[in-house]
């Protein structure tokens, strides 16, 4: 499955950046206090020791390309085993490339340049470029499965940051990234999160921000975080990246459709 970006001004910008290379929403967050997490991998959940803990930053460092150190001061780090810390490099790169192509913010030009460089390397270029009958580039293809995998990884990361333990295997994680096809059901879930809770961030709100909470639409809410119960049925999460892309992620123990 592929996510297709077929917007003429984006394509023109992509070509312009290629030629060049080769010739805030309001947020409230105090300075974070270091939390004592359970020593389990945030992703697979296996027990870790100080020696086997490799640590995982949320979000990955490639979203900070071109930014100064002040953007990384508050970037959170959580426990991760060696395998989970190293197996997502291509996934991270795929999402960085997507953000680089859809980016329209001049202050993120370094990220775009690196995305262009990555996508113009060897076989990757041939598999990504979409051409019209005249041989002109009309779009760029991205692997939708890798994009969803990226969001699931970060959802698990912010779940661990929020609650201090990995999300149990009993939950199914669903990702929706169709920002141009928002249904009434999507809006109810999105507004539940945005209207009742505060955006948090890791690193800097311009790079990565999130809301994650149990989904209790009938509860009386006061903007404070909900403490999940052991029998919690649903979690809702919004992930916002580089002011360019937002994903809705749900976790459920039933057959919830989004």
Question: What's the CA dihedral at 7, 130, 181, 155 to 10 degrees?
Answer: -110
Given a contact cutoff of 8 angstroms between Cβ atoms, the answer to whether 154 and 162 are in contact is: no
For residues 87-104, b (16+ Cβ closer than 10 Å) or e, as one string? Answer: ebeebbbbbbbbbbbbbe
Q: What is the pLDDT of residues 86-123, one digit of tens each?
A: 999 999 999 998 888 877 777 777 777 888 777 776 55
Residue 129 pairs in a beta bridge with: 140
Omega before residue 59 within 30° of 0, cis = yes
Tell me: pLDDT of 35 over 80. no
For residues 222-232, b (16+ Cβ closer than 10 Å) or e, as one string? Answer: eeeebebeeeb
Identify the H or E element spanning 98.
Answer: helix 89-102
Residue with tokens 């990702």: 175
Residues 6+ apart with CB under 8 A from 137: 11, 14, 15, 129, 130, 131
Confidence of residue 23 (pLDDT cuts 50, 70, 90): very low
Which tokens belong to 251?
A: 């976790």
pLDDT at 216: 93
* Residue predicted with more confidence, 181 or 160: 160
- d(CA 229, CA 214) in angstroms, rounded, equals 9
Q: What is the pLDDT of residues 124-160, one digit of tens each?
A: 555 666 777 777 766 777 888 999 999 999 999 999 9
Residue 33: other Cβ atoms inside 10 A: 5
Residue 106 pairs in a beta bridge with: none
Percentage, residues of the chain above pLDDT 70: 76
Q: What is the pLDDT of residues 58-89, one digit of tens each?
A: 999 999 988 888 998 889 999 999 999 999 99
Residue with tokens 């999105």: 190
Residues 6+ apart with CB under 8 A from 73: 203
Given a contact cutoff of 8 angstroms between Cβ atoms, the answer to whether 58 and 157 are in contact is: yes
Greatest Cα pair distance, the chain, in angstroms, is: 59
């Amino acid at each position: 499955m592929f996510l297709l970006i077929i917007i003429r001004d984006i394509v023109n910008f992509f070509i312009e950046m290629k030629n060049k290379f080769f010739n805030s929403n309001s947020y409230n967050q105090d300075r974070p206090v270091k939390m004592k997490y359970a020593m389990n991998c945030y992703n697979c959940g296996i027990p870790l020791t100080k020696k086997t803990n490799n640590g995982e930053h949320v979000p990955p460092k490639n979203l900070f390309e071109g930014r100064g150190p002040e953007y990384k001061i508050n970037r959170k780090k959580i426990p991760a085993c060696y395998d989970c810390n190293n197996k997502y490099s291509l996934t991270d790169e795929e999402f960085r490339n997507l953000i680089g192509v859809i980016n329209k913010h001049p202050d993120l030009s370094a990220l775009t340049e690196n995305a262009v460089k990555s996508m113009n390397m060897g076989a990757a270029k041939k598999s990504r470029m979409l051409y019209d009958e005249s041989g002109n580039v009309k779009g760029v293809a991205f692997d939708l499965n890798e994009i969803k995998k990226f969001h699931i990884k970060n959802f698990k990361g912010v779940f661990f940051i929020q609650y201090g333990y990995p999300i149990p295997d009993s939950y199914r994680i669903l990702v929706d990234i169709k920002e141009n096809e928002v249904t009434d059901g999507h809006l109810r879930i999105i507004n539940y999160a945005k209207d009742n809770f505060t955006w948090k961030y890791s690193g800097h709100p311009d790079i990565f921000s999130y809301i994650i909470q149990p989904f209790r639409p009938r509860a009386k809410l006061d903007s404070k975080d909900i403490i999940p119960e052991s029998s919690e049925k649903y979690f809702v999460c919004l992930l916002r990246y580089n002011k360019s892309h937002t994903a809705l992620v749900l976790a459920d123990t039933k057959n919830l459709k989004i």
